[in-house]
Amino acid sequence: MFVAYSQVGSDFVIMKFGHHPSVSEKEVQRAGDLIDAALELEALKNGVKQLLIVPSGKTTAEFVRDYKVKPFVAGLGVNTKPIAYVN
């Protein structure tokens, strides 16, 4: 599977995409999910706000999704053990 995209301002724009005809639908879906995850990581690194796609035969881009920063705090979670303080 391949995807041709470009960053335009604060957007990613997919201009072309495709896959080999012998690839199963399940494999295409998996590859698409992996590409989407990779694009999301790149978007967060580069300050990209949304993903657009120019469908085959069209000249205008269509909205696909927003990229939003998801808060993450390492080390927080459920702790069932009592906390012991040593003085």
Within-domain flag for 32: yes
pLDDT reading at 3 higher than 70: yes
Within-domain flag for 20: yes
What are the structure tokens assigned to 24, written together? 């199963």
Residue 75's region, left for phi above 0, alpha for psi from -120 to 50, else beta, is left
Within-domain flag for 77: no
Q: Half-sphere exposure of 9 toward its Cβ, with a 13 Å CA cutoff? A: 5
Within-domain flag for 86: no
Q: Please name which of 86, 2, 81, 74 lies closest in space to residue 39, comparing C-alpha atoms.
A: 2
- The structure tokens 């399940």 sit at 26
- Specify the pTM: 0.72
Pairing of strands 50-53, 11-18: parallel
pLDDT reading at 80 higher than 80: no
pLDDT in tens, 25-74: 999 999 999 999 999 999 999 999 999 999 989 999 999 999 987 776 66
